[in-house]
Structure 1
Amino acid sequence: MQSPKIEVRGLVKSFGPKKVLQELDLDVPRGQSLVVIGGSGTGKSVLIKCILGLVRPDAGSIKVDGEEVVGASRSTMERLRAKFGMLFQGAALFDSLPVWENVAFGLLAARKLPRGEARARAIDVLGRVGLPAEVADLFPAELSGGMQKRVGLARAIATEPEIIFFDEPTTGLDPIMADVINELIRRCVRDLGATALSITHDMASVRKIADRVAMLYAGKIVWEGPVAEIDHSGNAFVEQFINGRAEGPIRVAQAANG
């Protein structure tokens, strides 16, 4: 059996008295798209930050291609991060840089590509997310929310990463634009042959981009399986969440924590 691209075991993280992740286990299969669902404040973003090495867990193990992330040296983390691409919530573009430099940021900073070559690559990648070449010299403030999200996706795939992280990729978009972004995500991940790990509470996104789904509640994965099984999971947490019901095992007080 093929080993997972990302393997998380016994992950624990607290912030003061608040226990965010509690002995969390999760596998992200190679070449597949895994989406983690769960309410706001349940630790989805903390999980991704731990995998990226931005937050150090209190206990547990995170392996990427069999290499340990927790406690890894700076050089090891730099090498592992070269495999990563990231689409941040809200796109998180650099306001002071034109679009092409935003897209080519990793190519310029990490790959040390000449500016002319990086700009040409950026324009090519913009085309792959449906944006014309003339967008390259605009600034983020001149773009609509949907265009900014496309630029963020272009930046995430520009270095042709092995693993792409998506943090609430459709937040703030209308349903039609959200579907456009979901379709682009699915196509880009497939074309790259990448492994994808996404976090969202948008069930339309889940159904569009996921191969597998994991439900996070109270710091643990309470259900995990193929996306085709989500509507008949037999799990009370999943059923309450995907149907948006107030009544069920998920406490509304927890869901309202931010």
Structure 2
Amino acid sequence: MSVPKIEMRDVTKAFGGNKVLDGVNLTIEPGESMAIIGQSGSGKSVSLKCILGLVQPDRGSILVDGEEVVGTRGAAMTRIRSKFGLLFQGSALFDSLPVWRNVTFGLTRGRNREPAKMRMIAQENLERVGLDARVLNLRPSELSGGMQKRVALARAIAPRPEIIFFDEPTTGLDPIRADVINDLIVSLVDDLGVTALTITHDMASARKIAHRVAMLYQGRIIWRGPRDRLYDSGNPYVDQFVQGRAVGPIS
């Protein structure tokens, strides 16, 4: 059996008296696309930050390719993070930089080096997300929300990461533009052969981009299964959440 790409074992995290994660167990296989759904405050973002090493759990283990993340720092953590790409919620582009420097930011760490080479890399990755050379010198503020999201996708894939994290990838987009982004994510994950973890409130997005879906509730994974079972889970908490009903076990 292959080593899981990401594995969370009994991960617990509290902030003061607020226990956000209460024994999270989750396994993501190489090449798999996993979506985590749940209410605001259920621990989705904290789970992501724990995997990235930005937040240290109070208890538990997080493994990336079998290597422990919890407690790892310095050069070892930098090496693990080099496997990661991230599409931030709201895109988080740098308004002071042109598009081509935004796309190659992870390769240059913000330094203006090898500009000719970086422009070529930026153009190649922008073409992957359906944008052409005309946007290279534009500022993010000159782009629509959908185009900004595409530039952010190009930035996420430019270093050719092994794992890409998508943080609410369709937030702020209308349904049509959201579906375009979902299609791009599916094609990029398939073409690049990466492992993907998405946190989202968007059920259409979860059903389209994920192979499996897991639901967080009160700091625990209460259900996991294939995307085709999302609306037929047999779990009353999942049923209420995905159907957006006010009445049910979730208060």
Which TM-score bucket, shorter chain as reference?
over 0.9
Q: Which amino acid aligns with 2:182?
A: N
Structure 1 counterpart of 2:147: 147
* TM score, norm. by length of structure 1: 0.95
> Any idea what SS the aligned residue of 2:125 has?
helix
**Cα separation, 1, equivalents of 2:28 and 2:237:** 21
Query: Aligned runs of 1:1-258 on 2, under 5 Å?
Result: 1-109=1-109, 114-251=114-251
Query: Displacement of 1:22 after TM fit?
Result: 0.3
Task: Mark the CA change 1:106 to 1:40 in structure 2 (over 3 Å): closer, same or farther.
Answer: same
* Structure 1: runs of 5 or more not aligned: 252-258
**Cα separation, 2, equivalents of 1:69 and 1:113:** 31
1:100-142 alpha-carbon deviations (Å, 9 max, x no partner) = 0000011112999722211101011001101110101000111
Q: Comparing 102-111 with 15-24, which one deviates more in the overlay?
A: 102-111
Identity rate of aligned residues, in percent? 63
1:203-226 alpha-carbon deviations (Å, 9 max, x no partner) = 010111010000000000000011
**Cα separation, 2, equivalents of 1:22 and 1:46:** 12
* TM score, norm. by length of structure 2: 0.97
* Structure 2: runs of 5 or more not aligned: none
Q: Which runs of 4+ in 1 moved over 6 A?
A: 110-113
1:41-90 alpha-carbon deviations (Å, 9 max, x no partner) = 11101100000011111111000000000001211110011100000000
Q: Which amino acid aligns with 2:207?
A: R
8 A contact 2:31–2:195 mirrored in 1: yes
**Cα separation, 1, equivalents of 2:22 and 2:173:** 32
Q: Which amino acid aligns with 1:109?
A: R
Task: Mark the CA change 1:127 to 1:224 in structure 2 (over 3 Å): closer, same or farther.
Answer: same
RMSD of aligned Cα (Å): 1.4
In the alignment of these two chains, the number of paired residues is 251
